[in-house]
Chains A and B, each alone.
Chain A
Amino acid sequence: MTIEKFSYDNRIVKNFALATIIWGLVGMLLGLIIALQIPFPNLNIGQYLTFGRIRPVHTNAIIFAFVGNGIFMGLYYSLQRLCKARMYSDALSKFHFWGWQSIIVLAAVTLLTGHTTGKEYAELEWPIDILIAIVWVAFAINMFGTIIKRRERHMYVAIWFYIATVVTVAVLHIVNSIEIPVSILKSYSAYAGVQDALVQWWYGHNAVAFFLTTPYLGLMYYFVPKAANRPVYSYRLSIIHFWALIFLYIWAGPHHLLYSSLPDWAQSLGTVFSIMLLAPSWGGMINGLLTLRGAWDRVREDVVLKFMVVAITAYGMSTFEGPMLSLKSVNAISHFTDWTIAHVHIGGMGWNGMLTFGILYWLIPRLYKTNLYSAKLASFHFWIATLGILFYAVPMYWAGFAQSLMWKEFTADGILKYPNFLETVTQIMPMYKLRALGGLMFLTGAITMAYNLVKTMKQGTLNAEEAAEAPALEKNEKEHAGHWHRWIERRPVQMIILSAVVILIGGVVEFIPTFLVQSNIPTIASVKPYTPLELQGRDIYVREGCYTCHSQMVRPFRSETERYGEYSKAGEFVYDHPFQWGSKRTGPDLHRQGGKYPNVWHYHHMIDPTIMSPGSIMPSYAFMAENDLDISSTPAKIRAMQTLGVPYPEGYDVKANDDLTKQAKSIADDLKKNKVSIDSNKELIAIIAYLQRLGTDIKASKTE
């Protein structure tokens, strides 16, 4: 055996780096736009550029495009060096890169054109979900292949974080995306109501855990020591940190549903585990910061380290805040407000954003064998970005806290101080403007970075094939007899791939029975399936992303029952595929909306919200009065619902449209009585039908 010569693939790293920069700019720009759409509703243009449609694009762009590509950039760079091996297959690398970028583009297009599953951070429709799965598997093969072919026996802790990411994300994605296709771009979540919510937030939380955290911790454990040129403070701590995190993280989901109709115990469970998570999370932060101890002098001059310090600090803050928010008492105040928004942006801008910037500034000059074009610009970026985060977060915390208190405030004689929801919104409008400013600053910083890095690339030449040499991995002298150990060496990889497969098969096997059996939510006799028209209306509600501003979950607080009516029961959602509880109230809760206002109110409100409620910031949905409702899809939708166990009578799919037109007619007539003439085949009719149905089933059962 001799020393082997090989080369690192830097081109793929460069590609992902570029993608990171570009998508980062796009995502942040979209963020800025929606931030402005709140104080300036007229910025909601036409039917494709409303808040409800752009917001999912923003979240997906940041999480999966910006951070996603950031992960791959750092991973492809560090993994090759940690394993002293080139990536397993260039072809797979390319496929992974282009596959991922096309997913992003498809996502942007479909979401803007209203093709969404209506589940946060998992909005993409089923064909794209499948594409994601394929690309992800290709990526996994490429990564594990590299690990198997490594020339360094020890697997550095960062690699473990990468493995955790790849395996878990795959499982989460598949479990959460089980859905029944209706058409090529329409599907219904296989789960209903509470179950859907539980799965969604099991996924939702772990998406945060395993997409925004573990891979970035891996990057931190590689790039912070490299940038500081000193070993991580305590490697042992990092190992313990990893395993503790891995054994706890997967459980923390349900805390997103506190006070919801989720059973108590599931909620408490989430809380407890979220709090237990504090320890391992801070293990990481402490380790990261202490790595720089004694190097503070260098932190002062080295902008890369500056970015990293802020990133790690932000990580510490949000991982501290997370568990706090999962305390029921805190959550009672914070939930549905901008507090949550502030929290996620500390993580997103601070932890993910700043670390990505730091890595980029460190990496690009190395890839191009040159120095950074302008250190001045870089430190300008640092300062404006840091300020931007503050300008973003502080107003949002303020807004969230203030609004929540207004929602809960009663007058001396026991009636709501702010009965009109809109008041509480106009009160915090200045905060929204400030937040937009913060976003603008952050974006400006990112733009200067893009310029700075492009210039850097220009002045250098890409070192696409970085030559390296290392002796082939020798067998353990313990095992120098026989070859079985080689197999052992591969076993973890095999094990993990295998278990992933097992999980999938096992999952499928488990699902069929589970979804054929009647779900065991206490069923309320009076709760009936949606009529075809309401179903169509609901799909429009989902399409327009109404859930991004309106919740459908009245929590059992006096302040909420006063404002909205009877609190929501688990049994009311048994036919909701997907659930639409929402996570943020920019507008009021809609679960008890049904029958609150006459149809004509809804008509005018949709055409121009400000007519019915002056100062409303809701976009105008006038186009619904123009668009014809596509009723050709009704039979398919009914059939899909039937397979999901919704008790429509046998063969109802064919008769459905008769009922639909009948109901539409009656609404149109009712509007005519109020001097509004509109054809009964317009989308507007359907959405009104749905809104009027919302939460009425148990009202009916109650004797009022």
Chain B
Amino acid sequence: MSVILILIAFSLLVAGSFLVGFLWSVKTGQYDDDVSPAIRILFDEEIVTPKEQPNSKNTDAV
């Protein structure tokens, strides 16, 4: 079963690297505001030239 050791080693490394990712994201304030990001993705920036009929993409349903 020696292979289990390798699998554990790999799993630990992967999980570990994600732990680092987690710490980083907290450190750099990724999660300081956990409301607006969810809303922000709904804004599709279209270049609007003043005359154009304004409507943000996300609102015309299929």
A–B direct touch in complex (beta carbons closer than 8 A): yes
Hey, which bits of chain A sit against chain B, CB under 8 A?
5, 81-82, 84, 152, 154-157, 160, 163-164, 167-168, 171, 175, 191, 194-195, 198-199, 202, 222, 225-227, 229-232, 235-236, 238-239, 243, 246-247, 250-251, 253, 263, 266, 298, 302-304, 361-362, 365-366, 371-372, 375, 378, 467-470, 476, 488-489, 491-492, 495-496, 498-500, 502-503, 506-507, 510-511, 514, 517, 519-521
Q: Establish whether residues A500 and B17, one from each chain, have CB atoms under 8 Å apart when the complex forms.
A: yes
Provide the residues of chain A in CB contact with B33, threshold 8 Å.
154
Given contacts A164-B18, A247-B18, A514-B6, contact A491 B13 (CB under 8 A): no
Provide the residues of chain A in CB contact with B44, threshold 8 Å.
81
Q: Establish whether residues A510 and B17, one from each chain, have CB atoms under 8 Å apart when the complex forms.
A: no
Nearest Cβ in chain A — how far from B2, in angstroms? 5
Q: A163-B21, A243-B22 are known contacts; what are 4 more A-B pairs with Cβ within 8 Å?
A: A154-B40, A222-B41, A225-B38, A496-B20
Q: Establish whether residues B1 and A246, one from each chain, have CB atoms under 8 Å apart when the complex forms.
A: no
Q: Establish whether residues A361 and B2, one from each chain, have CB atoms under 8 Å apart when the complex forms.
A: no
Contact of B13 among A303, A362, A499, A521 (CB under 8 A): A499
Q: Which of B20, B22, B62 has the most CB of A within 10 A?
A: B62
Q: Establish whether residues A507 and B35, one from each chain, have CB atoms under 8 Å apart when the complex forms.
A: no
Q: Establish whether residues A231 and B38, one from each chain, have CB atoms under 8 Å apart when the complex forms.
A: yes
Given contacts A250-B14, A499-B20, A503-B10, contact A225 B41 (CB under 8 A): yes
Provide the residues of chain A in CB contact with B52, threshold 8 Å.
none
Q: Establish whether residues B62 and A167, one from each chain, have CB atoms under 8 Å apart when the complex forms.
A: no
Q: Establish whether residues A507 and B37, one from each chain, have CB atoms under 8 Å apart when the complex forms.
A: no
Given contacts A154-B30, A199-B3, A304-B62, contact A506 B38 (CB under 8 A): no
Q: Establish whether residues A191 and B3, one from each chain, have CB atoms under 8 Å apart when the complex forms.
A: yes
Q: How many A-B residue pairs have CB under 8 A?
A: 151
Expressed in whole angstroms, the Cα–Cα distance for A473 and B62 within the complex equals: 33
28 inter-chain pairs at a CB distance below 8 angstroms, sorted by A residue, are: A155-B30, A164-B18, A167-B18, A168-B14, A175-B7, A191-B3, A195-B2, A225-B41, A225-B42, A231-B41, A232-B38, A235-B35, A235-B37, A235-B38, A243-B22, A246-B18, A247-B15, A251-B11, A253-B7, A304-B61, A371-B62, A469-B45, A476-B28, A491-B24, A495-B24, A496-B18, A510-B6, A510-B9
Number of interface residues of B (CB under 8 A): 44
Q: Establish whether residues A226 and B15, one from each chain, have CB atoms under 8 Å apart when the complex forms.
A: no
Provide the residues of chain B in CB contact with A470, threshold 8 Å.
45
* Closest B residue by C-beta to A158: B41
Hey, which bits of chain B sit against chain A, CB under 8 A?
1-7, 9-11, 13-22, 24-25, 28-31, 33-35, 37-42, 44-47, 57-59, 61-62
Majority SS of interface residues in chain B? Answer: helix
Q: Establish whether residues B7 and A302, one from each chain, have CB atoms under 8 Å apart when the complex forms.
A: no
Expressed in whole angstroms, the Cα–Cα distance for A222 and B20 within the complex equals: 24
Provide the residues of chain A in CB contact with B16, threshold 8 Å.
499
Nearest Cβ in chain A — how far from B27, in angstroms? 8
Given contacts A246-B15, A519-B2, A521-B1, contact A365 B62 (CB under 8 A): yes
Provide the residues of chain A in CB contact with B17, threshold 8 Å.
167, 495-496, 498-500
Nearest Cβ in chain A — how far from B37, in angstroms? 5
Nearest Cβ in chain A — how far from B20, in angstroms? 5
Q: Establish whether residues B21 and A468, one from each chain, have CB atoms under 8 Å apart when the complex forms.
A: no
Contact of A226 among B1, B10, B58 (CB under 8 A): B58
Expressed in whole angstroms, the Cα–Cα distance for A495 and B57 within the complex equals: 36
Q: Establish whether residues B1 and A194, one from each chain, have CB atoms under 8 Å apart when the complex forms.
A: yes
Provide the residues of chain A in CB contact with B28, threshold 8 Å.
476, 488-489
Expressed in whole angstroms, the Cα–Cα distance for A167 and B13 within the complex equals: 11
Provide the residues of chain A in CB contact with B47, threshold 8 Å.
5, 467-469
Provide the residues of chain A in CB contact with B6, threshold 8 Å.
175, 507, 510-511, 514
Expressed in whole angstroms, the Cα–Cα distance for A303 and B61 within the complex equals: 10
Expressed in whole angstroms, the Cα–Cα distance for A371 and B62 within the complex equals: 7
Contact of B3 among A155, A195, A236, A251 (CB under 8 A): A195
Expressed in whole angstroms, the Cα–Cα distance for A364 and B58 within the complex equals: 14
Q: Establish whether residues B14 and A167, one from each chain, have CB atoms under 8 Å apart when the complex forms.
A: yes
Nearest Cβ in chain A — how far from B45, in angstroms? 6
Provide the residues of chain B in CB contact with A495, threshold 8 Å.
17, 20-21, 24
Expressed in whole angstroms, the Cα–Cα distance for A82 and B42 within the complex equals: 10
Provide the residues of chain B in CB contact with A366, threshold 8 Å.
57
Provide the residues of chain A in CB contact with B13, threshold 8 Å.
171, 499, 502-503, 506
Given contacts A250-B15, A492-B24, contact A198 B45 (CB under 8 A): no
Expressed in whole angstroms, the Cα–Cα distance for A230 and B58 within the complex equals: 10
Provide the residues of chain B in CB contact with A163, threshold 8 Å.
21
Q: Establish whether residues B9 and A506, one from each chain, have CB atoms under 8 Å apart when the complex forms.
A: yes
Q: Establish whether residues B10 and A303, one from each chain, have CB atoms under 8 Å apart when the complex forms.
A: no
